[in-house]
Structures are given as structure tokens and as C-alpha cells.
Amino acid sequence: MNAEQLRRTLIALRDRMKESQRSIRDGAISDAGLRAIGKAPTNFAEQASDEQEIDLMAERLTASSDTLADIDEAIGRTEEGHFNECEECGKEIGERRLAIKPWARLCVSCQRKFEKEDLS
């Protein structure tokens, strides 16, 4: 995969993720509107369920925002010409890894080391 192909893949992925974020936000706004006009939960169980759903939406938005930032950085790397260079060791990130995770910053070996250190 060359830089331009990867760039197009990343842009398409970014666009899909932004649309997904809009859908989540629109759902949250719509739910908030229902509560404001009197459709509020009538008991503690409903309220707890609603709060859990709101927390889950917030987590999804945060995670997708983090991934969007990673994708934007990866688009920048394609434009700078070092899209397949591991940020840790400088070796080439394999094409298979980029096909699976186009915004990867680390080669598989460095990613494994990072995950082991993170678990310790």
C-alpha cells in the first residue's frame, strides 16, 4: 500500500467515524429533549439505566475522538512521507499491520513491548 492509497483509506475512515459521532450526539440530544418534555425516568432503576447509557455514550465519543486524532496524525504522516515508519524504533511498519490498523504508529514488535510494559 502506497502513501496515497493509505491516505484515501484514512480519510474515508475518518469520515465514517465523524458520521458515527454525529449519530451518537444526535441520539443523546434527542434523549435529553425527551427528558425535558416530561419523559423523564419515573423510578430509580430507569434513572440508573439512563445514566449508564449516557456514560456509555460519553465513553464511545471519547474513544472515537482519540482514534480520530490518531487518524489525523496518520494522514499527516502520509503527507510527510513517513507513514510506515515506527515512531519507536524507526523500522518499517508492515503492510499487513497498516491494512489492519491504518493509523498504526508502532511496528508489531514495539507495540508488543509497549503493551507488556503497560500491563506491568
The pLDDT value recorded for residue 11 is 96
Q: How confident is the model at residue 120, as a pLDDT?
A: 60
Residue 5: half-sphere exposure toward Cβ, Cα within 13 Å: 6
What pLDDT does 12 receive?
96
Over residues 13-45, the pLDDT tens digits come to 999 999 988 887 777 666 555 554 455 556 677
Our CA angle for 91, 94, 96, nearest 5°, is 170
Euclidean distance between CA atoms 28 and 43, whole angstroms: 20
Query: What residues are paired with 2 via a beta bridge?
Result: none
Model pLDDT, residue 96: 94
Residue 41: its pLDDT value, please? 56
pLDDT value of residue 35: 55
CA 47-52-56 angle, to 5 degrees, is 150
Regions of the chain with pLDDT less than 50: 36-37
Q: Where are the domains of the chain?
A: 1-83, 84-120
- The answer to whether 93 and 43 have CB atoms below 8 angstroms apart is no
pTM of the model: 0.73
Burial class (CB in 10 A: 0-12, 13-18, 19+), 44: exposed
